[in-house]
Structure 1
C-alpha cells in the first residue's frame, strides 16, 4: 500500500495534489487542519470502477463520514447550549449574590480549554464538509458524463461563458428534454437572453435625477460624460445639469467642471456638510440631472452618508450601479451588496471592450434582476455608449468565451459548488 501525506492551502488544492500524484484510484484516509492549510493522508490500493460510474464503496464511506459529522455537530450544539445555559445560571446567581461574581464566573463560564476544543471541532467539521463536497462533486460530474454526455457537453459550454454552476443548472433544466445538441444550445442561449432585463425607455429620455454609483475604478465619471454628451447631442444643453458628490478624489470636481464647460451645462458640487437636497433645489426645472458619486471603500462612514442621501424618497433619485466587465465575480457581488442600500434602478456595464469574459457580470444582472440600461465599450465620448439588446449581449458573451475546455478539476469543483449551495439553502 502506498500511503502519502499532502499539504495545501485548501481542500480542493489538496485533492488535486492527490489526483496528480496517486491518480484517480487514490483513497482518502484522513484529513486535518494544520498551520497554513490542510493535510490529507491518501493511499493507493483501492480498485475503483470505470470513470463516470458510481462508486458504492466511496459513497458508503461518505455516508459514514456524514453520520460522523452529524454526531459531531450534535455534540457541538450540546456543548454550546450547555455553555449558554451556564451563562444564564451565572447571571441569575450573580443577581442574587453580588458578593461572589468572580467565583461564580470561574465555575460557570466556558473555560479556555473548552473553547479551544469547540474551535478545533468546528475546524474539523469544516474540513470534513469540504472533503465530502469535493468528492461528491467528482462523483456527480463523472456520472453525468457517463449517463448524459449531451448534458455534460452543454455544462462545459456554459462554464466557458463564465456562468456559475447554479445558473447553469437552472438553464439546463429548461432544455433537459431536447435531444438535438444544436437545438438545445440555441434554446439555452435564448433562455439566457430572455433572463436579461432591459429598460423599456432609455434613461436619458425618461429624465429626472440619475446617479451613477459603484466602487472606484468602475468608470462612473467617464460613463457620466458619455451620457451627458449623448443628451446634449440629441436635445441640446438647456435641460441638463451635472452634480458632483465626489469631494474625496483629487481633481474630481475640476474634471466635472471641464466637462460642463465643454458641453455648456451648469455644474454644482455637494460640499462637505451640505445636503444633496439643497444643491438640487435650484435644478428643479432641469429635465435631466446627472449625479457623479464618490467610489468609497465599503467600511468608510462617508459611504453610508452618501447612500442615505441617494436613498431619500423625497428626492426620487434613480441610482444605477456601474459594473466594469473586467471585474471578478466576487468584486461585482461585493459592489452590489454594498450599494443596494440606496435602491438600485438598474446597472450599466462598462469596459466591455477590455473584458475577457461577460458571464460573471451578466450573471449578477440576471440573478439580482437589475435592468441593463447601457454598456460602454471604448473611451470615445459619446460614441462608445450603447443601448443594449439582450440577444446581442449573449452573442457577445459567446464571442468572448474561454478558448479552452474547462478541466475535469474545474467541472468537479463546479458540481461541488452546487452541494455548497444546497447546504446553504438547507441551513
Structure 2
C-alpha cells in the first residue's frame, strides 16, 4: 500500500496532485487545514502500472466507499449540531423561566453581587459552544469541498463515457467563452440528437435565436443618443464613427454633439476637432447645469449624440452623470459601450453601474482584438440587451456596422480558443450532477 501526503493552496489543487501522483483509484484517508493551504493524506492499494494509467477513468469501489463515509460524517455532524442547538434552546428557556419566577428572599441580599453572578453563569457555556460550532463548521466546509471535487470528477467521467457527443459540444461552447450555465442550457435543447454536425448546427441556431439585435438602426430614428460605459471602452471613438456615419447618410445640418466628459484631459477638444472636420456643432456641458438647458439650443436638430465620462462606481461624478441621464428618461436612448476584450466580471459590473439610467442596447467595441466573444454574447442574452453596433477597428466610419445575430454567432465560432478547457473547469461544471441536477439525456 502506498501512502502519501500532499500539500496545496486549495482542495482542487490538492486533488489534482493526488490524481497525477496516485491515479484515479487513490483513496483519501484524511484532510486538514495547515498553514498555507490544505494537507491531504491519500493511499493506493496497489502500484499504478502503465496499462492501468492508460485505461479510461472509472469510479472505483474504494472511492465510492470513501464518499459514503464522508457523507455519513456530514450527516453525523449535522445531527450533533441539531442536538446541540436543541439543548441550548432548552437551557435558554429554563433560564428564562427561572428569571421571571418571583422570589421572596428570607434575608437581605446583595442584588448587585447576585446579578453579576447570574450574568456570569450563562456566558461561559455559549463561548465554548460557539468555538466548538465554528470548528465543526470549518470541518464541514472542508468535507463539502472535498466531496464536490470528487463528485465533479466522477460526473465528468460518466458524462464523457455515456454521452461523448454532449461532452464534445460542451467543450466547444466553453472554448467560445460561454459560461457553463448557458452551455448546459443550450445542450439540453439537443439532447435527443445523435448526429454530431446536426447537433452543433442546432446549438448555434438556438444561440443565434437568443441573441437580439435592433429591428432598425438606432441612427435611423431621430432623438437623443447617449453612449455610456466604463473608462477605456472606446466611447468617444465610437461616437466619432456614429457621427461620421450619420453625416454620410443624412448630412451635417441636422446633427449636434454634446460632451459630458469634463474629467478626462483632451476629451472635449477631441470632439471639437471632430465637429470642425464634419461641420457639426459641439457643446461641452457644464456638470453644474441641468442637461435640459444645454439641449434646448439643439431643439431643431434631428439627432444629438451625447458623449459621457467613464468613471468608477465610487466617483461622485458618476452619480451626477447618471442623474442627468435619468432626468431625460423616455427622451434619450442610452447604449452601453463595452470592449469585447473585457472580462465577464467587468462587463457584469458595468451593467450594474449603468442599468439605473435605462439601457436600450449594447455596442461592442474592439471586437478585432478579442480572443473570444462568448462573454459579451452571454451578457447581451442574460441582460436582454440588443447588440446595436459592432466596432472592429480604428477607421472612421468604416469599422462600425450593424450586426445580425447569425453574424455575431459566426464571429464567436471563428474566435473560439484553440485549446480545450482544463479538466478542473469541466469537473467544476459537472459538480452538481450527483446532487439531483442531472445532465440532459435523450428520451
TM-score under structure 1 length normalisation: 0.84
Query: Given the alignment, which residue of 137, 140, 146 partners 1:131?
Result: 146
Report the equivalent of 2:242: 227
Report the equivalent of 2:102: none
**Structure 1: distance between partners of 2:218 and 2:74:** 53
Query: Given the alignment, which residue of 276, 296, 301 partners 2:311?
Result: 296
**Structure 2: distance between partners of 1:310 and 1:58:** 59
Q: Is the 8 A contact 2:257 2:282 kept in 1?
A: yes
Counterparts of 1:130-209 in structure 2, within 5 Å, are 130-209=145-224
Q: What count of residue pairs does the alignment treat as equivalent?
A: 415
RMSD after superposition: 3.6
Counterparts of 1:328-407 in structure 2, within 5 Å, are 328-407=343-422
Over 3 Å counting, the alpha-carbon distance change for 1:29 and 1:270 in structure 2 is farther
Over 3 Å counting, the alpha-carbon distance change for 1:293 and 1:28 in structure 2 is farther
Report the equivalent of 2:107: none
Instruction: Give the Å deviation of 1:321.
Output: 1.4
Instruction: Give the Å deviation of 1:339.
Output: 2.0
Instruction: Give the Å deviation of 1:41.
Output: 2.9
Instruction: Give the Å deviation of 1:298.
Output: 2.2
**Structure 1: distance between partners of 2:325 and 2:135:** 45
Cα-to-partner distance string for 1:196-218 (whole Å, 9 max, x where unaligned): 10011111112322221211111
**Structure 2: distance between partners of 1:198 and 1:420:** 38
**Residue ranges of structure 2 left out of the alignment (5+ in a row):** 100-110, 438-443
Instruction: Give the Å deviation of 1:314.
Output: 4.5
Over 3 Å counting, the alpha-carbon distance change for 1:380 and 1:57 in structure 2 is same
Whether 1:214 and 2:233 are equivalent positions in the alignment is no
Report the equivalent of 1:425: none
Instruction: Give the Å deviation of 1:401.
Output: 1.2
Query: Given the alignment, which residue of 248, 255, 260 partners 2:275?
Result: 260
Instruction: Give the Å deviation of 1:385.
Output: 0.2
Larger-Rg structure: 2
Query: Given the alignment, which residue of 279, 287, 294 partners 1:272?
Result: 287
Report the equivalent of 1:65: 70
Over 3 Å counting, the alpha-carbon distance change for 1:180 and 1:65 in structure 2 is same
Task: Judge which range, 128-137 or 189-198, deviates more.
Answer: 128-137
**Structure 1: distance between partners of 2:208 and 2:171:** 19
**Structure 1: distance between partners of 2:292 and 2:74:** 56
Report the equivalent of 2:441: none
Instruction: Give the Å deviation of 1:384.
Output: 0.3
Q: Is the 8 A contact 2:337 2:362 kept in 1?
A: yes
Report the equivalent of 2:108: none
Q: Is the 8 A contact 2:155 2:433 kept in 1?
A: no
Q: Is the 8 A contact 1:133 1:420 kept in 2?
A: no
Task: Judge which range, 213-222 or 61-70, deviates more.
Answer: 61-70
Report the equivalent of 1:12: 12
Cα-to-partner distance string for 1:105-124 (whole Å, 9 max, x where unaligned): 99669977766655555544
Q: Is the 8 A contact 1:246 1:293 kept in 2?
A: yes
